[in-house]
A and B are shown apart, each in its own frame.
Chain A
């Protein structure tokens, strides 16, 4: 198994598990937040789509420049829109990942902020960090939101109190 194959398999596994969480977000509670400083449920779910979206930026080029002043976060208004956006981003990412070679994942990738290099790391590392771990981190947060909203929590790595 090559590193590229391992990353593809993991992306498939994690995005499948993630969809089960997103499907359960209650449409009438998108504005709910557990604390005044927290993301709303809708903002958190939208941000999870953004994690998937990094795949194209990482494997479609060798650098990415972000300007925080003009960056517009993904914000969905309903659960159907959330799932459609997620599915479209996953499908696009799968297409990008399909052509990634084992050599390509070791190539350096630069993150720039307003043109200045913030870091340079192998693409495999950036993908694990920006896409996979980032997504799992926020999905973990979403699991607590679902619990507090009295929604049965799907299992990700083991049983939950509900499954």
Chain B
């Protein structure tokens, strides 16, 4: 089975679930968090919308520094409503899709590095890095569904029915 196709099919499926979760994001709640040690909702939803960009970077760039010496190159505007998050997801998925459609299984088996402050943190094949990225995406979206529940939003059915959506 072709790895590129497997990854692409899975990304499309997960993007659909992420879209359902981002569509019910309540407006102006970016700073909300369930516990003082938790991450804020806006940061979590931003990751759910933008993680497919990481897949594109893993395919097209040799490495990524998550804390580049000299500070981040660009700062994104914070997003505050579901329309903005869904638009960001569409954009990041389009980047991931186009990167995967133009690559090969052989390229996915080549090495890739994640750095922090110029120092390598993880070194693995692009395929393993993409797999971890998708899992990371699912992890944070799972957390986000609990936030949504606690914020009083309607929780969509993802892998099975939710208390609000039994149509599964």
- Give the chain A neighbours of B160 by CB distance below 8 A: 134
Contact A147 B159 (CB under 8 A): no
Chain B proximity of A45: nearest CB distance (Å): 14
Contact A157 B10 (CB under 8 A): no
Contact A37 B37 (CB under 8 A): no
- Give the chain B neighbours of A37 by CB distance below 8 A: 149, 155, 163-164
Contact A138 B142 (CB under 8 A): yes
Contact B139 A157 (CB under 8 A): yes
- B34 contacts the other chain (CB 8 A): yes
Chain A proximity of B119: nearest CB distance (Å): 15
Cα of A158 to Cα of B164 in the assembled complex, Å: 31
Cα of A139 to Cα of B136 in the assembled complex, Å: 11
Cα of A133 to Cα of B155 in the assembled complex, Å: 18
Cα of A162 to Cα of B36 in the assembled complex, Å: 12
Contact B37 A147 (CB under 8 A): yes
Given A128-B10, A147-B35, do A139 and B159 touch, yes or no (CB 8 Å)? no
Given A3-B3, A35-B149, A144-B147, do A136 and B139 touch, yes or no (CB 8 Å)? yes
Cα of A105 to Cα of B146 in the assembled complex, Å: 33
Provide the main secondary structure of the chain A interface. Answer: helix
Task: Determine which residue in B136, B140, B159 has the highest number of CB atoms from chain A within 10 A of its CB, and name it.
Answer: B159
Given A133-B135, A157-B136, do A140 and B142 touch, yes or no (CB 8 Å)? yes
B contact residues, total (Cβ < 8 Å):
37
Chain A proximity of B89: nearest CB distance (Å): 17
In the A-B complex, the 9 residue pairs with the smallest Cβ-Cβ separation, listed nearest first, are A140-B142, A37-B163, A137-B142, A140-B139, A157-B136, A144-B146, A161-B37, A134-B159, A136-B138
Provide the main secondary structure of the chain B interface. Answer: helix
- A65 contacts the other chain (CB 8 A): no
Q: Which residue of B lies closest to A4 (CB)?
A: B1
In chain B, residues 75-108, which have Cβ atoms closer than 8 Å to a Cβ of chain A? none
In chain A, residues 119-156, which have Cβ atoms closer than 8 Å to a Cβ of chain B? 122, 124-125, 128-130, 132-134, 136-141, 143-145, 147-148, 156
What 0/1 readout, one digit per residue, does chain B (115-147) give for beta carbons within 8 Å of chain A?
A: 000000000010110011011101111110111
Contact A139 B132 (CB under 8 A): no
With A10-B131, A125-B6, A132-B135 known, 20 other A-B pairs at CB within 8 A are A10-B135, A35-B150, A37-B149, A37-B155, A38-B149, A38-B163, A106-B1, A124-B1, A136-B135, A136-B139, A137-B138, A139-B139, A140-B139, A140-B143, A141-B143, A144-B38, A147-B34, A147-B35, A156-B139, A162-B37
